[in-house]
Amino acid sequence: MADVIDLITRDHRRVEELFEQLRDGGDRAALMDEVARLLIAHSRAEEERVYPLIAKEVPGEAEEVRHSEAEHQEAEELIHRLLAAGPDSGEFDDLLGRLVEAVTEHVEKEESEVLPALREAVAGDRLAELAEEFGERREEALEEYEPAAGGAGDSGATRDELYEQAREHDIPGRSKMNKDDLARAVQEEETGD
């Protein structure tokens, strides 16, 4: 049975495959949407299910968890900028290069230091339980994801459009908000409620 480390590294390999396909010139809009969906779901599951355990159980890794969360936020902001720009934009390749570099550095550090320390500090049965928790949260986040080309919800805007509005208003915690939370936060900011 796969443990949480297996699931995390499997996601890493899939993202690397998608990056390669993007560089090779496939359907960039569809591929970028898949990258966004997978990375955001992966980040949510790690931040909510795995990182708290690492911070608690793995000696000396609490600071690395905070750093990893900041890297997730940076990657997510680049994702939103890429989705907003679109594959035909002049800035797409530069933004994609920055995303690939940021994610690659994050993955290398996580796989060479953080995950081995987790495997050493936490019992195998707990890692297997954590795989189930990670997988469930990841699936929830995949279902919550609104594709960039998706239809408008009650707010009339996609999650990515709402995220950009939240970024313009400098709303804290925006990268962890779903579409409804973003819509509420933007509305509150604009109406002063």
Convert the pLDDT of each residue in 148-161 to its tens digit: 543 333 345 777 77
Report the alpha-carbon distance of residue 21 to residue 75 in Å, rounded: 18
Instruction: Give CA–CA dist 94/69, Å, rounded.
Output: 23
Specify the range with the lowest mean pLDDT, choosing from 33-37, 102-106, 149-153, 176-180: 149-153
Region 124-152 average pLDDT: 83
Which pLDDT score is estimated for 155?
A: 45
Question: Among 100, 98, 85, 106, which residue's Cα sits nearest to residue 43?
Answer: 106
Distance CA 12, CA 121 (A): 22
Q: Are residues 180 and 92 in the same domain?
A: no
Pair 185, 101 in one domain: no
How far from 162 is each of 14, 43, 155, 181, 187, CA to CA, in Å?
27, 19, 9, 9, 10
Looking up tokens 């690939």 gives: 100
Same domain for 9 and 95: yes
Query: Which residue range(s) make up the domain with 185?
Result: 150-193
**Do residues 84 and 116 share a domain?**
yes
Mean pLDDT of the chain: 89
pLDDT at position 193: 65
Whether residue 130 is found in the same domain as residue 156: no
74 and 130 housed in the same domain: yes
Number of domains in the chain: 2
Is residue 52 predicted with pLDDT exceeding 70?
A: yes
Instruction: Note whether 16 and 44 are same-domain residues.
Output: yes
pLDDT at position 147: 62
> Do 79 and 107 fall into the same domain?
yes
* Residues 112 and 184 occupy one common structural domain: no
Q: What is the pLDDT of residue 190?
A: 82
Contact between 103 and 76 under an 8 Å Cβ cutoff? The reply is no
- Residue 103's pLDDT is 98
First to last CA, the chain: 50
85, 157: one domain:
no
Q: Tell me, what's the pLDDT at 148?
A: 54
Q: What integer pLDDT is reported at residue 153 of this predicted model?
A: 36
For residues 113 and 176, which has the higher predicted lDDT (pLDDT)? Answer: 113
Tokens of 18: 């998608």
pLDDT digits (tens, 9 = 90+) for 2-33: 899 999 999 999 999 999 999 888 889 899 99
State the Cα–Cα distance between residues 92 and 148, nearest whole angstrom.
15
